[in-house]
Amino acid sequence: MSKIAEERFSNRDASPVTEIFTLFNQNNIRITLELPTAVQINLNQHVGYTCAPVLHNDNAIFPIDSAEFSVTLSDVKSDGGSRNVIANVVWWDPIRMKAKPAITFTCAPVSAGQSIQCTPSDKGYTQMRWGTTVSNGEGKQKLENSLDQLKISYSPGNPSSETVDGPDITIG
């Protein structure tokens, strides 16, 4: 099956309308994740959605040499007073059929004003997967505090090779 056909097949129960969710936004650097606005899951079924975070260097002073972070997914709880778990959410490897609650992503260099899609450190985990735990319910996926271990390396461009005098040092 072609990659496009696989994505269409895996995304068939997700809303065709997507929304950009911001996981991190600081100092003109953003990490976003594009997800469907709604997901319909029938009892004893799973819905997979092919996605990966995107690193945006929104005109930061320096290009970003690299970035590494992990995204932890939380289960969906009901909107009602009971707050029961209505769906389990994991990162999913559709080839090996394995699940993980957290995946580390790495990003290639990003110039100022550019964006790049990040890749999972475990290459096969290309989908977010929701699975039912109850026969009915409604809830909202919570993405806050899902970003862990953020490491970003900046490149200040060409460093100056000139020596600059600093403060006078006196000992004794």
Percent of the chain at pLDDT exceeding 70: 77
The single residue listed with the structure tokens 């990966």 is 52
DSSP state of 78: B
Residue 167 has pLDDT above 60, yes or no: no
Domain ranges of the chain: 3-154
Mean pLDDT of the 21-40 span: 90
C-alpha closest to that of 88 among 79, 99, 76: 76
Could you tell me the pLDDT band of residue 13, with boundaries at 50, 70 and 90?
low
Mean pLDDT (the chain, rounded)? 81
CB atoms within 10 A of CB 78: 17
C-alpha distances (whole Å) from 145 to each of 22, 47, 57, 165 are 11, 23, 21, 44
